[in-house]
Amino acid sequence: MSSLVRGERQRLNARTRATVVGIVVLVAAVVVGLLVGPVRIGAANVLRWLFSFGDPPPGMSEQQALILADLRLPRVIVAGLVGASLAASGAAYQAVFRNPLADPYLLGAAPGSVRRSPSPTARRERSSSRSRSRRSSARSSASGWPTGSGGRASGAAPRPASSWPASPSPRF
């Protein structure tokens, strides 16, 4: 009977150790995430800022505190939420299929998540066809006035067809 209790204690100790190590790694990742960025903010200032609950500690500028609060902390929080949701979805896959090796490729979810962006040539062709259709609709109007509002408010006076640009304006 005592060997059974000893085995349970060892499992409990191993679980406790794993939990403590996980929490330490999580805190270290949060601190590293707050440190990384183009503006150098010292680790001591970041830790003092964390423990002052967002108020800029002495020796830290207001600008650095704003960078931490408005840019870096939300980035770290979103990264944690994304990681947690990926972990939960992986655990759900494994539970549903009762397979510890289940992965997103099992149902085709991984290939479906890839979004291919069109090539630069396809983008150019698509934008030139849009501008051609815009110019042709402006020229085909019987009265010489373009059809539609042309991007203006509905109450604005229309422009004559001759004032349409010969080439599409660049998009920035």
DSSP per-residue string spanning 117-151: PPPHHHHHHHHHHHHHHHHHHHHT-TTSSPSS-TT
Q: Compute the distance between CA of residue 85 and CA of residue 94 in angstroms, rounded to an integer.
A: 14
Full-model pTM:
0.55
Place 172 in a pLDDT band, splitting at 50, 70 and 90.
Answer: very low
CB 39 within 8 A of CB 51: no
CA distances from 8 to 3, 13, 14, 15, 73 (A): 9, 9, 10, 11, 40
CA dihedral (164, 165, 166, 167) positive or negative: negative
Query: Average of pLDDT values for 50-74?
Result: 89
- Please count the other Cβ atoms lying within 10 Å of the Cβ belonging to residue 67: 17
- Where is average pLDDT lowest: 36-45, 87-96, 97-106? 97-106
- The confidence score (pLDDT) of residue 22 equals 93
Query: Average of pLDDT values for 154-161?
Result: 54
Query: Average of pLDDT values for 70-91?
Result: 93
Q: Compute the distance between CA of residue 166 and CA of residue 5 in angstroms, rounded to an integer.
A: 86
Q: Identify the residue with better confidence: 148 or 35.
A: 35
Place 161 in a pLDDT band, splitting at 50, 70 and 90.
Answer: low
